[in-house]
C-alpha cells in the first residue's frame, strides 16, 4: 500500500461548516482537559478554507493534508499539531503557536505568520505528495518524489523560528524582518530575494542556501554556518558578522559596507559641508550622508553630525566621545563596542542598531523640542536596538522609544528612563540601581520587577 493513500486526488477533502468545526473543537477541548467525551480533533484531509479558527486550541490535532486556504488562525494554538502537507496558502496565523508542529511539505505561500511562535517546527520535505496549479494535492507516481515546503511571499515578521528545520524549503520573496532564527536549519533552502532585515541568525545553518538578492541589513550572523552559501547580490551592509565570516570567499559576492579611499580628507570635506548646512539652515553646504560606510575604529571625538544620514554605518570600536548626533539617523548601524560617552544623541534614530558593549555613559538620549512654543518633541528611537552589556550609567533616556530593545546585562545605574517606552524590552540581568523609571511603560518587559 502506498504511504500516500488517503492524500491523493481520489480522496477529495470534505468541506466542514463553522458549526461542524465548532462541535469538533468542543470535543477536542474536552480531550485536552481529560474530560469525559473528549476526542482528539481529526481534521485530516478536511476542507477548512476561509473558516475562522482564531484563538482556538488545536494543539496535538491531526490536520495532515487539510485545506486551510485563507483560514483565520490568529492566536491559535497549533503546538505539536500534525500539519503534514497542509494547504495554508494565504492563511492568517499572526501570533499563532506552532511550536514543534509538523509542517513538512506544507504550502504557506502568501501566509501571514507575523509574531508567530514556530520554535522547532519541521518544514523539511514531505514525501510522495504534490500540489497542482489549482492547489489540489495528489500522490506522486514515484516513491522517491518529494513535496518541498513553501513559504514563498509569506509575511513572517518578528516570528520566532528558533531551531526550526527549514532545509530545502522555498522561502523566496518572504518577509522575515526581525524574525528570531537562532540555530535554525536552512541547509539548501532557497531564500532568494527575501527580507531578513534585523533577523537574529545566531548559530543558524545556511550551508548551501541560496540568499541571492536577499536583504540582511542589521541581521546577526555570528556563529552562522555559511559554507557554500550563495550571497550573490545580497545586502549585508550593517549585518553583524564574525571576522572569519568576513574572510569567506562567498561573502565577497554580497553588497558590503564601503570604505573611503582617502578617509582623512574625505571626512574633513564632508564635515565642513555639513557644518555649513547646519549653520545656514540648509541653504548652503550639504547634509552629510555616511550611510553604508565602514568607519570602524576611527577617532571621531567631538564632531558635529546633527541630523546626518548614517543608515547602516559601521562604527565598530570607534571613538565618538562628546560627539553631537542629535536627530541623526543611525538605524541598522553597527556600533559594537563604540565609545559614545557624553555624546549628544537627543532624538537620534537607532532603530535596529547594534550597540552591544558600547559605552554610552552620560549620553543624552532624551527628546528634542522641535518648536519651543508648540511643545512638539522628537523622541529618540531605539526600537529593537541591541544594547546588551552596554554601559548606560547616568544616561538620559527620557521618553525614549525602547520597544523590543535588548538591554540584557546593560549597566543602567543612575539612568533616567522616565516616560520611556520599554514595551517588550529585555532587561534580563540589567543593573538598575538608582535607575529612574517614573511613568515608564513596562508592559511585557522581560526581567523587570515592577
Per-residue pLDDT of 209-267, as tens digits, reads: 999 999 999 999 999 999 999 999 999 999 999 989 989 999 999 999 888 889 889 99
pLDDT at 388: 96
How large a percentage of the chain has pLDDT more than 70? 91
Distance, in Å, from the CA atom of 150 to the CA atom of 159, rounded to the nearest integer, reads 16
What's the pLDDT tens digit per position in 2-56? 333 234 333 467 898 888 988 999 999 999 999 999 999 999 999 999 999 999 9
Per-residue pLDDT, 30: 93
Nearest alpha carbon to residue 226 among 215, 214, 239, 241: 241
For 113, residues 6+ apart whose C-beta sits below 8 A from its C-beta are 93, 94, 96, 98, 154, 155, 156, 159
Q: Are strands 368-371 and 146-147 parallel, antiparallel or unpaired?
A: unpaired
- Residue showing cell 538578492: 213
pLDDT at position 9 is 36
The dihedral sign for the CA sequence 270, 273, 276, 278: negative
* The pLDDT of residue 139: 45
List, in sequence order, every beta strand (DSSP E) within 168-226: none
Lowest mean pLDDT among 104-108, 132-136, 176-180: 132-136
Q: What is the C-alpha to C-alpha distance for residues 423 and 381, in angstroms, rounded to an integer?
A: 13
Task: Report the C-alpha gap between 294 and 386 in whole angstroms.
Answer: 19
Confidence of residue 373 (pLDDT cuts 50, 70, 90): low
pLDDT score recorded for residue 375 = 66
Residue 139 half-sphere exposure toward CB, CA atoms < 13 A: 15
pTM: 0.86
Query: Which residues sit opposite 14 in a β-bridge?
Result: 46
State yes or no: pLDDT of 58 exceeds 90.
yes
Least confident residue range of 76-85, 391-400, 441-450: 441-450
Give pLDDT tens digits for 135-159. Answer: 554 544 433 455 678 899 999 999 9
- Report the run of H or E that residue 31 belongs to, with start and end: helix 18-32
Amino acid at each position: 500500500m502506498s504511504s500516500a493513500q488517503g492524500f491523493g486526488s481520489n480522496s477529495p477533502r470534505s468541506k466542514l461548516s463553522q458549526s461542524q468545526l465548532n462541535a469538533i473543537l468542543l470535543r477536542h477541548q474536552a480531550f485536552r482537559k481529560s474530560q469525559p467525551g473528549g476526542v482528539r480533533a481529526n481534521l485530516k484531509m478536511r476542507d477548512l478554507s476561509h473558516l475562522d479558527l482564531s484563538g482556538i486550541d488545536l494543539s496535538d490535532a491531526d490536520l495532515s493534508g487539510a485545506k486551510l486556504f485563507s483560514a483565520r488562525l490568529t492566536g491559535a494554538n497549533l503546538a505539536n499539531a500534525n500539519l503534514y502537507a497542509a494547504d495554508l496558502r494565504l492563511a492568517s496565523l499572526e501570533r499563532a503557536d506552532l511550536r514543534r508542529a509538523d509542517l513538512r511539505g506544507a504550502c504557506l505561500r502568501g501566509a501571514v505568520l507575523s509574531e508567530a511562535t514556530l520554535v522547532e517546527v519541521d518544514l523539511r520535505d514531505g514525501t510522495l505528495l504534490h500540489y497542482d496549479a489549482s492547489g489540489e494535492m495528489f500522490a506522486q507516481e514515484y516513491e522517491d518524489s518529494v513535496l518541498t515546503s513553501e513559504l514563498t511571499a509569506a509575511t513572517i515578521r518578528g516570528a520566532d523560528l528558533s531551531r526550526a528545520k527549514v532545509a530545502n524549503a522555498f522561502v523566496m520573496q518572504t518577509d522575515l524582518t526581525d524574525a528570531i532564527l537562532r540555530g535554525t536549519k536552512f541547509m539548501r533552502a532557497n531564500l532568494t530575494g527575501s527580507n531578513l532585515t534585523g533577523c537574529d541568525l545566531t548559530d543558524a545553518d545556511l550551508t548551501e542556501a541560496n540568499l541571492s538578492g536577499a536583504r540582511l541589513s542589521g541581521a546577526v550572523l555570528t556563529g552562522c554556518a555559511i559554507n557554500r552559501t550563495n550571497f550573490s547580490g545580497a545586502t549585508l551592509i550593517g549585518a553583524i558578522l564574525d571576522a572569519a565570516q568576513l574572510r569567506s570567499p562567498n561573502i565577497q559576492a554580497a553588497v558590503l559596507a564601503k570604505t573611503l579611499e582617502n578617509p582623512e580628507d574625505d571626512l574633513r570635506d564632508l564635515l565642513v559641508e555639513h557644518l555649513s548646512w547646519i549653520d545656514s539652515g540648509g541653504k548652503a553646504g550639504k547634509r552629510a550622508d555616511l550611510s553604508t560606510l565602514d568607519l570602524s575604529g576611527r577617532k571621531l571625538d567631538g564632531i558635529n553630525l546633527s541630523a546626518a544620514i548614517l543608515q547602516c554605518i559601521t562604527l565598530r570600536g570607534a571613538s565618538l566621545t562628546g560627539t553631537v548626533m542629535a536627530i541623526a539617523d543611525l538605524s541598522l548601524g553597527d556600533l559594537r563596542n563604540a565609545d559614545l560617552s557624553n555624546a549628544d544623541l537627543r532624538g537620534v534614530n537607532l532603530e535596529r542598531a547594534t550597540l552591544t558593549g558600547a559605552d554610552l555613559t552620560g549620553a543624552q538620549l532624551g527628546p528634542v523640542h522641535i518648536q519651543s512654543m508648540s511643545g512638539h518633541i522628537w523622541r529618540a528611537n531605539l526600537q529593537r536596538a541591541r544594547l546588551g552589556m552596554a554601559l548606560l550609567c547616568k544616561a538620559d533616556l527620557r521618553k525614549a522609544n525602547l520597544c523590543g530593545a535588548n538591554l540584557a546585562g546593560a549597566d543602567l545605574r543612575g539612568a533616567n528612563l522616565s516616560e520611556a517606552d520599554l514595551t517588550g524590552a529585555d532587561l534580563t540581568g540589567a543593573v538598575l540601581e538608582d535607575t529612574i523609571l517614573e511613568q515608564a511603560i513596562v508592559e511585557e518587559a522581560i526581567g523587570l520587577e515592577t
